[in-house]
Amino acid sequence: MATAARILEWPVEEAEDTSGALWDAVSLARAMKGTANADFTVTEVEIDSRDVQPGDLFFALKGEAMDGHRFVAMAYEKGAAACVVDRPVDGPHVLVRDTSEALEKLGAASRARARGPVIGVTGSVGKTGVKEMIFAALERATRGDAHRSVKSYNNHVGVPLSLARMPARARYGVFEMGMNHEGEIAALTRQVRPNVAVITTIAPAHIENLGSIEAIADAKAEIFQGIERGGTAVIPADSPHFERLRKAALRCGAHVVSFGRAPHAGVRLLDCVDAIGGGSLVTVDMGERRVCYTVAAPGEHQVTNSLAVMAAVRAVGGDLGAAGVALAEMGGLAGRGARIEIDVEGGEPDAQGCRRALLIDESYNANPASMRATLAQLGRTSARRRIAVLGAMKELGTHGPGYHAALAEPIREAGVDFVILVGEEMAPLAAELEKARTAENAQELGKSGSDPLGKFIPFAHCPNLREVADRLHAFGLERDDAILVKGSNSVGLAALVSALSKQEG
């Protein structure tokens, strides 16, 4: 069989475990130091009773405002095989002293039984996308025997939950770690104990809590504190904080591999051109070999992300050919670059009588670096008109006004035709864009011979989501428009994406 055919086909292996059992009562009680009142097996672990499926294990976690024990009956009604509780209940259960501590213990037991390498991913931008790319690469090469944290389960609850969900048969595990404050990643990485630790990039996300970009770099570098002996640190070679990250990794005993365009990068970008059908055709120097592959997701930032993916896959002994195929197949994720064709009312119909526009869904998160990268990609997107709906960037503290105002430059460079700004934090950007209108008026009156601010870009500033749809309707979306929707998750722009794409929220 040809090499390409072997990569494209799922490998078939004998003696696969098809029982579907994730944990049994005995192993659960042992791992959590609890007491099981019955004999049972579970196929999945859940912490939200609304998501429980038949055969699941439901953890009745207690938070500041909610006690999961209130939903135990609902979990059983939905088919839970058992619950983890701190008080006896009617039904199969494991009785523990503290359910949150029990979840961490189960995560630790899952990590201890892992039979293959584990990869941890963090970074100010792109960590979820890189995590998904690495998973797709390893899953393709193992016929589904790779595991990863789903969605953005990257905090003190999401990480142990994701570990607890890892099947014993998994050959690889990929886990995302996030933080808002110093010390949070240090706690998470000691649970994950990665063989490979990836930092995607350093940018001013959460600077409100950490105070400086250097402090952000140090907080991300905490991921190296849990790295296993002989492990590998994968870090961005082009970052101004490269040396800071490298030294932090070396102090933890890690082997360092860097990625990027810099001459010293261990995984170095040699060439990148537009691929037929979209995306990028990438050529990479990996030292002992050169690799050429396609990245389906558009944007220079996705090319850079792919370098981190290749570095991580090589570090765990994965199949680079399968990784290349996975990257060629993988488009943008919902909320993180998904491209959706939507029906619009304006413009002339095409030969099939359709009026379609492109909706770019970046509604899940935003910080200064990701805003600039996404606006740059919008500028490279073929479209009759470019519309940007930009939500506020959160957790920037006193740096916020300056970072918001600075978006005027990438908006102009992207050739945006209309901008809707959402949230009070966007007022400095609105003021910056308004300066161009003032300059144009002055020029028309002969008060100025030039316009250093560039052409005025029509915009609307909406304090909340209620006005956004009306503003878009008044502007009028037309065939072949490109509409970017991007903002911090708390702004709620995902609802706008659902409405525009006619999807149910």
Q: Could you report the per-residue pLDDT of 364-411, keeping only the tens digit for each? A: 889 998 999 999 999 999 999 999 999 999 989 999 999 999 999 999
Percent share of the chain, pLDDT over 90: 77
312 and 233 Cβ atoms separated by less than 8 Å: no
| Mean predicted confidence (pLDDT) in 263-285 | 93
- Tell which of 97, 122, 139 closes a domain: 97
DSSP string, 354-394: --EEEEEEE-S---HHHHHHHHHHHHHS--SEEEEEEEPPP
Residue 313: CATH number of its domain? 3.40.1190.10
pLDDT at 505: 37
Asked, for residue 109, whether it belongs to a domain, the answer is no
Residues 294 and 368 in one domain: no
| Mean predicted confidence (pLDDT) in 146-168 | 94
Asked, for residue 30, whether it belongs to a domain, the answer is yes
- Tell which of 272, 301, 329 closes a domain: 329
Count CA within 13 A, CB hemisphere, residue 339: 19
Cα distance between residue 465 and residue 203, in whole Å: 27
Q: How many CB atoms lie within 10 A of CB 55?
A: 17
User: Residue 262 sits in which domain range?
Assistant: 114-329
Residue 369: CATH number of its domain? 3.90.190.20
Residues 428 and 461 in one domain: yes
Q: Could you report the per-residue pLDDT of 405-443, keeping only the tens digit for each? A: 999 999 999 999 999 999 999 999 999 999 987 766 665
Asked if residue 8 has pLDDT above 80, the reply is no
Residues 309 and 354 in one domain: no
| Mean predicted confidence (pLDDT) in 85-114 | 97
The single residue listed with the structure tokens 């494991």 is 94
pTM of the model: 0.83
Residues 236 and 361 in one domain: no
Asked if residue 123 has pLDDT above 80, the reply is yes
pLDDT band, residue 447 (cuts 50/70/90): low
Residues 174 and 155 in one domain: yes
Number of structural domains found in the chain: 3
pLDDT at 13: 44
Residues 287 and 393 in one domain: no
Helices (H), 292-352: 300-315, 320-329
Length of the chain: 505
Average pLDDT of every residue of the chain: 91
DSSP state of 478: B
Asked, for residue 128, whether it belongs to a domain, the answer is yes
pLDDT at 451: 46
Residues 259 and 299 in one domain: yes
Asked, for residue 210, whether it belongs to a domain, the answer is yes
Q: Could you report the per-residue pLDDT of 37-63, keeping only the tens digit for each? A: 999 999 999 999 999 999 999 999 998
Asked if residue 175 has pLDDT above 50, the reply is yes
Asked, for residue 255, whether it belongs to a domain, the answer is yes
pLDDT at 74: 97
Cα distance between residue 184 and residue 197, in whole Å: 15
Residues 50 and 72 in one domain: yes
pLDDT at 453: 55
- Tell which of 329, 349, 378 closes a domain: 329
Residues 89 and 230 in one domain: no
241 and 218 Cβ atoms separated by less than 8 Å: no
pLDDT at 335: 86
95 and 35 Cβ atoms separated by less than 8 Å: yes
Residues 324 and 342 in one domain: no
Cα distance between residue 421 and residue 462, in whole Å: 6
Residues 303 and 364 in one domain: no
What is the signed CA dihedral for 45, 121, 267, 9, rounded to 10 degrees? Answer: 10
Helices (H), 381-487: 400-405, 408-413, 427-444, 468-475
Q: How many CB atoms lie within 10 A of CB 376?
A: 16
